[in-house]
Structures are given as C-alpha cells and as structure tokens.
Structure 1
C-alpha cells in the first residue's frame, strides 16, 4: 500500500465516502513498511473510523507470479538474506478484513497486525517446499539493488522497480521477524501454518517443473 500515488488514491475517495456517510472503512496495509504509512495517514485524515489491517508477507507469494516461476525453475533469487518472516496465509488476511468490515465497529480505530504462527527465513521456506515436492530447490540471496535491476529486464517499469528496491532495503532488515496475534484476536484461533500452505500447493502441482 506504499506505492507512489497510493496515499492520494486512498485519501481522496475516503474523504468523499465519509461525506456520503461511510464510517468504517478497512485498509489492507503492509506490516512494518514505512512506505505504507502515508496511505494510512491519508485514511486517518479523512475522518473515517478506520481499521488498518497490517499483513505480513503472504505465503502465496511463493505460489503466484515471478517467485513461483523461479521456484519451478529450481532457484528463488530474492534480497531477503537470512531475515525471517512469519508468512501469513491470504485466507487469514481475508477473514480478518471481513470480520473488521462486519464487526459493527468493534475494530474501528484499531491497527491489527496479522501474521503466520512462526517465522521462517526465505531459505527455510524454500527448503519446506523442496521437501514437500521432492525437488532440489535452492534460495539465493542478492543485494536489493541488484534484484531491482533484474526486475527491469522482464518488463517491470523502472519506477516500480526502484520502489520495490526501496521497500526491500528498509522492510527486509529483521523488523518483522516475529509473529503477532492479530488473527487470534479477531478470529479466535491460531493462524494457518506455512506447512499447510505448502502441502496444499504441492498436492496441486503448483511447483512442478
């Protein structure tokens, strides 16, 4: 939620919505991402009794888009080093958002941090996928700027690649290397574990070469 122009794209319609009677919007934001704070502030400034759901890195980032293609090819290249992250299942994020929207204002004015139950490094995550698929998969850490430059080649606009580099250089510093209890607070249960996600995707053939 911190991409260039996002604060304006959220703040202006939020102000209009408040004028029309909307009182409890829910913003899906990024946990620990400095670049997302202006968007959160723009929603606050609108006067809405907002709920901000700050999500950890999605487990599904390993099963969709370019990262999934890299895993299928045998090697995930990413600028996370040895940093750990409690990867969260998108279904948990969605259920928390729905509960915030339909909770009758119970979560208005709150910030909810939703994560998975245990932190894993990217190398450990790839190792779990390798074990589930029976394939020799590896993770290779690279500097954030090198990763950003590599993104431009496949067609990512340079401005977007520069933004992703900035996010990687700040967000992947270990600040999120611990789980939080937002899922349990809202849903009354523990969050889905990364192992369950891996088992489901492996059974579906997501990472078959």
Structure 2
C-alpha cells in the first residue's frame, strides 16, 4: 500500500483510552489526522474477544495503532493479534504500529507475526511506563501509603508514555520509521524503591515500600480477590520481565525523535503538582 495512503488516511487506535493510546489519539488529532477510537464502548465497537466486529472497525482505515489489552503475555494474545494483522491487510490497511514489551517472549512472537506480513510496520518495544505510578496499577497503593512488591525486582529504565506516543505519531506520518524496531527506555534504570522514594519526597508524604517474597506477593494478590488470570499475568511479568534482563538503557527515543528520553524526576515533579498522589500538593 502506498505511503501516501497510510501517512494521510484515517488511523484506528486500539486501546485508545489507555496510557499510550490516549496520547496517540491526542497527537494524531493535533496533527490533523482522522482518528477512530478502538474500544468496546466506541462506535463501531472493537473487542479483541469479538473478531466478528473487527471488519466494521477497520472499514475505511489506512493505519492502526495496536495496543493489546491487558498484555501480549496473556494466553491467546499472539493468536489474536496475528488474526487481526491478516484482517487489517485484507481490509486495505497499509501501516501497523505495534506496542510491544521488552523481555517478553510472547511480545516478540507478536512482533515476528507482524514482520511476516506484507504490511508496513513500526514496532515500539517498551520498558515499564512512568504512568504506572499515576494512572492505575500502583496508584491506589501509593495513596494508601504502602506499596508491597516482590523482593526480586531488578532496576527498570522506566519510560514516559509521552515519548512512546510521540514516536507512534511520527511513525504514522514519516516513512523514515518504516520497518523500524525501536527499543524504548528512559534515561536511567531505577529500583522500584527509588521510584517510590522520589514520589514520596515530591508529595511530602510517607509511603512505605515493603518487599516480600514472590510467594507472599502472589498470595496477597489472591487475597485481594483479583481474577486468577490477572494474578498469573502480574506474577509472570514480575518474575520474568523484571529479572534484570531489561535493565540496560536503549537508544530508541533518541534514534526515533532526535532527543533524549524524558526524565523520571521531571515526571514526578509534574505529576505531584497535580495532587493526584495527595500530600502537600493535594
């Protein structure tokens, strides 16, 4: 499919209300692109578990941002995205930008499935997001003043979702990003304890960091009443992705955008000022 088709036509953003998707939508709209939200509540609706509805969501679409919810490590995810890639190509889509995860074998299987198609593609292989601390996931624990995590977690080069979205928007406009895999990290690797300490200091609050064994952490998730598949996913990610394999810094942001990644300290200062974490800024 010609570049002028996918670089100017309508974009379907899957996971369009999520951390990266919402920002991709905003960036595309600011650039003057026509955007269709891909979510269960959108019209036409998009649901990974209802492939019979995909054709309607893809109708008239030139390019797609693919963010699989909740994670490509979930059983069945690779099969689902592989089927979606085939249907997108059949519908006349020319470009896919795939949100992938560092250190996840399943995510890399999804990447290979995309590479095997004839579609133009850009892959964003990302570290954990800064926004996991402020947009669900860890937010409730931070507000409660105690965050319990496994004691095995290695430092992680957390990345700003704004950097990810900026790369995605650029990839939809410029063929320079075609067939590029960007390994995307922040500027420095931090332990979770360091990250929580920075948030506590910025808010003027006490937030206790409690390391426990993997077994105790899993038991705590079960006690909270989380669905078994969520418990399995979270414990898998903590024991796999955060075992140290992803600690090295990568150059994806600089390679794609020509500037260094946004810094965690700046994110913390900016976010604390909104009052979302409570404390002196609330």
Q: Give the TM-score of the pair, scaled to structure 2.
A: 0.69
Q: Post-superposition shift, 1:24? A: 2.3
Equivalent residue number for residue 37 of structure 2:
none
Task: Determine if contact 2:103/2:240 at 8 Å carries over to the other structure.
Answer: no
Q: Is structure 2 residue 143 aligned with structure 1 residue 72? A: yes
Find the partner of 1:32 among 93, 103, 114: 103
Equivalent residue number for residue 127 of structure 1:
197
Find the partner of 1:110 among 173, 180, 187: 180
Equivalent residue number for residue 98 of structure 1:
169
Q: Is structure 2 residue 238 aligned with structure 1 residue 168? A: yes
Q: Post-superposition shift, 1:82? A: 5.1
Q: Is structure 2 residue 196 aligned with structure 1 residue 88? A: no
**C-alpha distance 161-28 of structure 1, shift in aligned 2 (>3 A):** same
Task: Determine if contact 2:82/2:110 at 8 Å carries over to the other structure.
Answer: yes
Q: Distance in 1 between matches of 2:259 and 2:130?
A: 18
Q: Is structure 2 residue 134 aligned with structure 1 residue 63? A: yes
RMSD in angstroms over aligned alpha carbons?
1.8
Residues 48-103 of structure 1: per-residue CA shift (max 9 Å, x gap): 23211011100011112241111111111122635111111111111111111211
Give the match's secondary structure for 2:125: strand
Q: Give the TM-score of the pair, scaled to structure 1.
A: 0.91
Structure 2: stretches of 5+ with no match in the other structure: 1-71
How many residues of Structure 1 are paired with residues of Structure 2 in the alignment?
A: 208
Equivalent residue number for residue 218 of structure 2:
148
Higher helix share: 1
Deviates more, 1:53-62 or 1:73-82: 73-82
Structure 1: stretches of 5+ with no match in the other structure: none
